[in-house]
């Protein structure tokens, strides 16, 4: 996909030309100057009903959403620009000086400026000098501006601030996180361009100096006993791409991308019996939060909302062929806007490819010798974002049996704390001598605007319970399924329960499947911990979505994000808890299913210097949606390039059917 192509569909991301046009229209109409920035420029997407009317012939405007920030005054505004009429249709100054406050996401230029402000501050220089940091060291000190959280202090209320922590480095390529400068935290006002608060603790903790670098030069003696593992598709991939639209194995969908969420899947549907059947209208990850469990000065306030406070899409990586994705790859280049509103291309931001995924279905019938096996293949649509020290991969998988999966991959570098030699770090795990890793949690929230068979949908909650002994259970082996229909929004907030196998089903009550029931999809959740911070704590107020695994809301175009619109320096109370408090009807309605999931991380030596990937995610599986296993008609082909390692032969293997490699079919 070339980011320079023209629009072909109302859900296509803004093109480079449209980004430039939208910024120019708003700048001219509102007299914006050199001090205005554009933290977000994106398509204002049409809703499901608007698209349906457009398909029936109604006109549909092409709208751009622009978030602006005056970096001299801190005034922020939201604007909608109609690109077809070249007019600003709405312009609203954000009340970010009023409770619960809130700020646009932190921009790249502010990361750079914050470091300059910190290093120029006399108080900070004196504080780090107490810890052995010389004037000669300061140019190489790494300063991490970090979203600040909110604790009701005057310098937080309505202010655009970051908190900054620092790390010693001897060389520019050193891993700064091995050398935290403990007990020093600078609060930077990004509008006043100065340090407005400085923590300089009396206790001096020595800066750990042991190097724990991760560049390839740090590991010159690489393994020599690993052979190439090549993924080969000599006839090309099984998917087809037309602009932003993809078709694969009866699936079809449109790829989207926003500065906050990154990858978005639109109009996900599957062809069944010649009919295209909708499943999800829009799917994305709208937020993630990482609260820390260390109450000390450097860490208690850390609770990064990586989507809302920074922007997962804005921080997307340029993916590398043969490294981030293997096989026959289709990359999507994404049109984007920088802080100044200038359009540019995010090269290779989205990767799409096919993967083998083991056995899909199999049976060996010894009575008649029928032996049938089919291998599973899945389509992978993914992107990676680096948010400071952590790297997050988001992988959507589509399967040939109709299953949908989201997997988040967590890697990168943990936050660290300096520990006085001879002492034990009480707030997490030791990862090296004098170096601790604070215990923390990662919570993601996926927003699934459901569209099962294109009608009103109903969500039901199910779990299993043993039946009491009795005439209807004389052997004690019977258990029942308990079902609860979620009728209003306040019925929906819930926590997963592995003991009872609790799950949720989204069905279309207006349709009937092959056995007389409503067709649906089942959400298979992992009963991961919820946010463990106390009720009433600042992070619990701000990240309330992570207190439950499941939320269901009636669709509202304005309710886009689990944490609310502007979690940055926000007092909290918005987002999902506020959405469901309206208690709107959700039975047989246009519903949005929100799922919070994540990982609790107690740091250990194996997590350093780079953490091996941890996984979190969920499945959506057809449940009464099809009349049978839709993957029965897969061809019974055996992989022709597989070989028996016990047989002699060259590295390329023998010819097909030779006995040295796979040949023939998977049926006997």
Cα-trace Rg, the chain: 27
Residues 328-340 have pLDDT tens digits of 999 999 999 999 9
Residues 332-364 have pLDDT tens digits of 999 999 999 999 999 999 999 999 999 999 999
End-to-end Cα spacing for the chain: 43
Facing residues of 445 across strands? 287, 596
> What's the confidence (pLDDT) of residue 527?
82
CA distance 307 to 623: 32
Closest CA to 560 of 580, 548, 575, 540: 575
Average of pLDDT values for 623-632? Answer: 97
CA distance 637 to 216: 41
> What's the confidence (pLDDT) of residue 320?
84
Element (DSSP H or E) covering residue 20: helix 16-30
CA distance 155 to 136: 32
In words, the CATH class of domain 16-94 is alpha beta
pTM of the model: 0.95
CA distance 182 to 207: 7
In words, the CATH class of domain 108-218 is alpha beta
Strands 591-601 and 390-399, bridge-based pairing: unpaired
Average of pLDDT values for 70-81? Answer: 98
Phi, psi (deg, nearest 5) at residue 275: -115, 135
CA distance 612 to 603: 12
Average of pLDDT values for 98-106? Answer: 98
Which tokens belong to 62? 């092409």
Q: What is the strand order of the sheet 370-387 is part of? A: 330-337, 343-365, 370-387, 390-399, 404-412, 611-623, 520-524, 503-507, 458-466, 479-485
Domain ranges of the chain: 16-94, 108-218, 240-623, 638-668
- 410, 599 in Cβ contact below 8 A? yes
CA distance 252 to 244: 11
CB atoms within 10 A of CB 593: 25
Average of pLDDT values for 100-129? Answer: 98
CA distance 619 to 519: 17
> What's the confidence (pLDDT) of residue 655?
47
How would residue 3 be classed by pLDDT, with cut points 50, 70 and 90? Answer: low
Ranges of H-type helices in 451-490: none
Closest CA to 334 of 385, 261, 258, 267: 258
> What's the confidence (pLDDT) of residue 645?
83
Angle at 505 between CA 500 and CA 506, to 5 degrees: 160
Closest CA to 37 of 81, 74, 7: 74
Question: In CATH terms, are 16-94 and 108-218 the same topology?
Answer: yes
How would residue 528 be classed by pLDDT, with cut points 50, 70 and 90? Answer: confident
- 413, 610 in Cβ contact below 8 A? yes
How would residue 663 be classed by pLDDT, with cut points 50, 70 and 90? Answer: low
CA distance 63 to 55: 17
> What's the confidence (pLDDT) of residue 471?
96
Which tokens belong to 35? 């001090």
> Has 306 been annotated as catalytic?
yes
Tokens 């029931």, residue? Answer: 517
CA distance 108 to 316: 13
Check 144, 174, 189, 306 and give the catalytic one: 306
> What's the confidence (pLDDT) of residue 657?
43
Q: Is the pLDDT of residue 168 over 50?
A: yes
CA distance 125 to 45: 48
Q: Is the pLDDT of residue 295 over 50?
A: yes
How would residue 643 be classed by pLDDT, with cut points 50, 70 and 90? Answer: confident
Q: Is the pLDDT of residue 652 over 80?
A: no
Average of pLDDT values for 32-42? Answer: 97
Q: What is the strand order of the sheet 417-418 is part of? A: 417-418, 435-438, 428-432
DSSP string, 92-150: EE--TTSTTEEEPPPPHHHHHHHHHHHHH-HHHHHHHHTTT--TTTGGG-EEEEEE---
Residues with Cβ within 8 Å of residue 569, at least 6 apart in sequence: 101, 102, 103, 147, 148, 149, 150, 156, 159, 160, 161
Burial 400-418 (b: 16+ CB within 10 A, else e): bbbbbbbbbbbbebbbbbb
**Domain made up of 240-623: CATH architecture:** Distorted Sandwich (2.70)
Element (DSSP H or E) covering residue 576: helix 576-580
> What's the confidence (pLDDT) of residue 1?
44
> What's the confidence (pLDDT) of residue 7?
66
Q: Is the pLDDT of residue 659 over 50?
A: no
Q: Is the pLDDT of residue 516 over 60?
A: yes
> Has 390 been annotated as catalytic?
yes
> What's the confidence (pLDDT) of residue 455?
84
HSE on the CB side for 121, CA within 13 Å? 25
Residues 536-551 have pLDDT tens digits of 999 999 999 999 999 9
Element (DSSP H or E) covering residue 542: helix 538-542
CB atoms within 10 A of CB 636: 13
CA distance 119 to 141: 9
How would residue 559 be classed by pLDDT, with cut points 50, 70 and 90? Answer: very high
Q: For the chain, give the percent of residues with pLDDT over 70.
A: 96
Check 292, 390, 392, 395 and give the catalytic one: 390
Residues 391-419 have pLDDT tens digits of 999 999 999 999 999 999 999 999 999 99
Which tokens belong to 665? 């079919």
Lowest mean pLDDT among 230-244, 591-605, 632-646: 632-646
Q: Is the pLDDT of residue 318 over 80?
A: yes
Q: Is the pLDDT of residue 430 over 90?
A: yes
Average of pLDDT values for 212-230? Answer: 94
């Amino acid at each position: 996909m070339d980011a320079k192509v023209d629009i072909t569909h109302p859900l296509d991301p803004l093109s480079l030309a449209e980004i430039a046009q939208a910024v120019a229209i708003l700048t001219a109409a509102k007299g914006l100057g050199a001090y205005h920035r554009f933290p977000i420029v994106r398509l204002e997407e049409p809703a499901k009903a608007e698209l349906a009317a457009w398909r029936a012939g109604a006109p549909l405007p092409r709208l751009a959403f622009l978030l602006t920030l005056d970096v001299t005054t801190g005034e922020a505004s939201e604007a909608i620009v109609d690109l077809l009429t070249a007019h600003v249709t709405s312009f609203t100054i954000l009340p970010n000086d009023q409770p619960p406050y809130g700020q646009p996401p932190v921009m790249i230029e502010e990361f750079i400026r914050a470091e300059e402000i910190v290093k120029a501050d006399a108080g900070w220089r004196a504080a780090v000098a107490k810890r052995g940091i010389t004037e000669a060291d300061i140019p190489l000190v790494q300063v991490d501006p970090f979203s600040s959280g909110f604790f009701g202090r005057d310098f937080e209320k309505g202010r655009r601030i970051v908190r900054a922590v620092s790390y010693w480095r001897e060389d520019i390529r050193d891993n700064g996180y091995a050398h935290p400068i403990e007990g020093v935290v600078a609060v930077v006002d990004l509008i006043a361009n100065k340090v407005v608060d400085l923590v300089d603790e009396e206790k001096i903790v020595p800066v750990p100096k042991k190097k724990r670098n991760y560049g390839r030069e740090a590991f010159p003696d690489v393994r020599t006993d690993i052979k190439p593992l090549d993924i080969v598709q000599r006839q090309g991939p099984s998917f087809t791409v037309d602009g932003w639209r993809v078709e694969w194995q009866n699936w079809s969908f449109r790829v989207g991308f926003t500065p906050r969420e990154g990858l978005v899947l639109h109009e996900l549907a599957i062809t069944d019996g010649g009919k295209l059947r909708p499943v999800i209208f829009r799917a994305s990850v709208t937020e993630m939060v990482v609260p820390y469990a260390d109450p000390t000065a450097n860490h208690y306030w850390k609770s990064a909302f990586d989507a809302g406070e920074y922007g997962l899409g804005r921080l997307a990586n340029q993916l590398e062929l043969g490294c981030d994705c293997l096989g026959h790859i289709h990359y999507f280049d994404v049109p984007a806007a920088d802080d100044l509103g200038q359009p540019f291309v995010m090269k290779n931001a989205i990767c799409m490819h096919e993967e083998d995924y083991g056995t899909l279905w199999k049976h060996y019938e010894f009575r008649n010798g029928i032996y049938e096996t089919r291998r599973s293949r899945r389509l992978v649509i993914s992107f990676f974002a680096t948010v400071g020290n952590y790297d997050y991969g988001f992988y959507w998988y589509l399967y040939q049996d109709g299953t949908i999966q989201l997997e988040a991959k967590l890697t990168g570098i943990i936050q660290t704390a300096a520990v006085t030699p001879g002492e034990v770090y009480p707030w997490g795990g030791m990862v090296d001598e004098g170096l601790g890793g604070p215990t923390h949690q990662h919570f993601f929230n996926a927003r699934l605007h459901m569209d099962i068979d294109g009608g009103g949908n109903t969500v039901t909650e199910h779990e299993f319970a043993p039946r009491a002994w009795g005439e209807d259970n004389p052997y004690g082996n019977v258990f029942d399924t308990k079902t609860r229909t979620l009728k209003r929004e306040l019925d929906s907030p819930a926590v997963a329960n592995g003991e009872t196998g609790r799950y949720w089903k989204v069905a279309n009550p207006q349709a009937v499947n092959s056995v007389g029931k409503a067709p649906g999809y089942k959400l298979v959740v992992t009963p991961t911990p919820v946010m463990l911070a106390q009720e009433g704590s600042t992070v619990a107020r701000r990240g309330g979505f992570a207190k439950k695994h499941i939320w269901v809301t009636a669709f509202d175009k304005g309710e886009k994000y689990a944490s609310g619109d502007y979690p940055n320096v926000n007092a909290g109370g918005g987002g999902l808890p506020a959405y469901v408090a309206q208690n709107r009807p959700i039975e047989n309605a246009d519903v949005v299913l929100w799922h919070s999931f994540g990982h609790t991380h107690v740091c250990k030596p194996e997590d350093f210097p780079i953490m091996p990937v941890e996984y979190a995610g969920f499945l959506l599986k057809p449940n009464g949606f099809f009349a049978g296993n839709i993957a029965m008609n897969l061809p019974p082909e055996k992989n022709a390039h597989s070989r028996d390692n016990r047989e002699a032969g060259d590295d390329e293997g023998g010819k097909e059917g030779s006995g040295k490699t796979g040949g023939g079919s998977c049926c006997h």
